[in-house]
């Protein structure tokens, strides 16, 4: 039973349904009665490993007590001088940092490897070399401990991250996933039942932040740097477009906003105030575009819960704007805490725990998937 001792409401990975077939009755009995009893007697512990891009994340989670320990190493400083992530450097750094982080997490949790029931790891999408480091390490450790290794979709990790918080969102909900590689609106019925309602046709929103920050001469990663420069900017000077909000649908397009920022800058002297004003106008355009699409998706689906995840979910103005919007829509919004908006091991451990509790045991063969559509995922076994 997830986090029963932490005082959080238990989470049902597969909500019991009344279906009149023998197989389904047995499955429902398993999930509704037998599994919770077993978990009560034997809590489960999962070690989660994240290595899809430029952060090495490790966490240990317990089905009764919640998150026991987590640790993160960010490679930002290594990549900053190149203005973006260098895949080969990322892989090498994961090799250096992963084992020390695993030892640190197990020690901080005061756990023994013998108490760990499975190892979950990010199997995609992401940089192939970086994914391979985490996958090989996870599978080797799991093999040596005699436990399963469970592959996890990175965006499923982000999407479930708000379930590490209290209160935890209940299914079904609408998820806004906004990271460096993805911008998606997803109808989430249950774990593994995802329908993508809209996504970016070009740049992901985090990518647009990073590219615009670069042309403003800001360092990598650009999102937080641009957001902090925007604090000194004025909203009255430039009116940036709100792309694709003038037509029906839930898709996004952010590459035009970056070009708009470039064209605006070319007409100016490029002084500090110019840059701050462009940053402010860009950020406002992104935030309002996301707000309009989220409101539209809530109205069209009738869903009343919005979950926001991914690195851009750390943006202060986006968080404030969404809070105001959902209040007017009589809905609720759920965010992970700031440190779990960006990549981390806790979300991969949680996704691993939910899938393991539902019966997932990984496979003998495996492949990492640099590209992996979210709606190819299925409910846990």
CA 266 to chain centre: 35
Asked whether position 180 contacts ligand KG4 by CB under 6 A, the answer is yes
Extract the tokens encoding 156.
């499923």
DSSP per-residue letters across 143-168: HHHT--EEEEEHHHHHHHGGGGSSSP
- Closer residue to ligand KG4, CB minimum distance, 127 or 132: 127
Extract the tokens encoding 255.
């590459």
Site for ligand KG4 in 37-56 (CB under 6 A): 53
Site for ligand KG4 in 323-342 (CB under 6 A): 342
Binding partner at 162 among Zn ion, ligand KG4, none, C-beta below 5 to 8 Å by kind: none
Site for ligand KG4 in 302-321 (CB under 6 A): 310-312, 314-315
Distance CA(100)–CA(120), nearest Å, equals 17
How far apart are CB 55 and Zn ion at their closest, in Å? 8
Q: Which positions touch Zn ion (CB under 5 A)? A: 179, 343
Site for ligand KG4 in 342-361 (CB under 6 A): 342-343
Extract the tokens encoding 343.
């990549």
Asked whether position 206 contacts ligand KG4 by CB under 6 A, the answer is yes
How far apart are CB 296 and ligand KG4 at their closest, in Å? 22
Whose CA is closest to 164, among 85, 19, 243, 57?
A: 57
The contacts of residue 144 (CB under 8 Å, 6+ apart) are: none
The beta strand positions in 98-192, using DSSP E, are: 118-124, 149-153, 173-178, 183-190
Asked whether position 362 contacts ligand KG4 by CB under 6 A, the answer is no
How far apart are CB 54 and Zn ion at their closest, in Å? 10
Binding partner at 222 among Zn ion, ligand KG4, none, C-beta below 5 to 8 Å by kind: ligand KG4
Distance CA(113)–CA(126), nearest Å, equals 28
How far apart are CB 327 and Zn ion at their closest, in Å? 28
Cα atoms in the 13 Å half-sphere on the side-chain side of 74? 9
- Closer residue to ligand KG4, CB minimum distance, 284 or 315: 315
Binding partner at 314 among ligand KG4, Zn ion, none, C-beta below 5 to 8 Å by kind: ligand KG4
Whose CA is closest to 341, among 157, 109, 123, 83?
A: 157
Q: Do the bridges between strand 305-309 and strand 173-178 make them parallel or antiparallel, or are there none, so unpaired?
A: parallel
Asked whether position 179 contacts ligand KG4 by CB under 6 A, the answer is yes
Site for ligand KG4 in 222-281 (CB under 6 A): 222-224, 227
Lateral strand order in the sheet of 149-153: 66-74, 55-62, 45-50, 118-124, 149-153
How far apart are CB 26 and Zn ion at their closest, in Å? 37
- Closer residue to ligand KG4, CB minimum distance, 12 or 181: 181
Interface residue with ligand KG4 among 157, 192, 198, 221 (CB under 6 A) is: 221
Asked whether position 210 contacts ligand KG4 by CB under 6 A, the answer is yes
Catalog residues that contact ligand KG4 under the rule CB under 6 A: 53, 179-181, 206, 209-210, 221-224, 227, 310-312, 314-315, 342-343
């Amino acid at each position: 039973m997830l986090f029963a001792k932490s005082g959080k409401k238990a989470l049902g990975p597969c909500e019991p349904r009344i279906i009149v077939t023998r197989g389904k009755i047995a499955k429902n009995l398993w999930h509704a009665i037998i599994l919770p009893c077993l978990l009560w007697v034997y809590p489960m512990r999962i070690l989660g490993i994240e290595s899809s891009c430029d952060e090495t994340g490790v966490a240990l989670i317990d089905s009764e007590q919640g998150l026991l320990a987590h640790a993160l190493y960010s490679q930002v400083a290594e990549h900053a001088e190149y203005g973006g992530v260098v895949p080969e450097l990322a892989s090498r750094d994961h090799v250096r940092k992963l084992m020390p982080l695993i030892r640190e997490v197990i020690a901080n949790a005061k756990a023994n490897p013998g108490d760990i029931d499975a190892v979950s790891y990010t199997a995609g999408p992401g940089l192939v070399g970086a994914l391979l480091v985490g996958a090989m390490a996870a599978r080797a450790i799991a093999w040596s401990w005699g436990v399963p290794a469970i592959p996890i979709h990175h965006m499923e990790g982000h999407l479930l991250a708000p379930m590490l918080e209290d209160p935890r969102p209940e299914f079904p909900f609408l998820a806004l996933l906004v990271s460096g590689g993805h911008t998606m609106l997803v109808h989430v019925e249950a774990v593994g039942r995802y329908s993508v309602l809209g996504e970016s046709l070009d740049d992901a929103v985090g990518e647009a932040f990073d590219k615009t920050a670069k042309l403003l001469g800001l360092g990598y990663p650009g999102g937080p740097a641009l957001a902090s420069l925007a604090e000194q900017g004025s909203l009255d000077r430039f009116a940036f477009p709100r792309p694709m909000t003038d037509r029906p649908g839930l898709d996004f397009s952010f590459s035009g906003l970056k070009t708009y920022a470039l064209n605006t800058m070319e007409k100016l002297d490029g002084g500090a105030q110019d840059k701050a004003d462009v940053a402010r106008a860009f950020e406002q355009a992104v935030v309002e575009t996301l707000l309009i699409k989220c409101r539209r998706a809530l109205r069209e689906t009738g869903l009343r819960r919005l979950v926001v995840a991914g690195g851009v979910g750390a943006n202060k103005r986006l968080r404030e704007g969404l809070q105001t919007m959902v209040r007017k829509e009589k809905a609720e919004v759920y965010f992970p805490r700031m440190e779990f908006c960006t990549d981390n091991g806790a979300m991969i451990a949680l996704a691993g725990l939910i899938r393991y509790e539902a019966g997932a045991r990984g496979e003998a063969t495996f492949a990492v998937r640099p590209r992996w559509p979210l709606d190819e995922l299925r409910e846990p076994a």
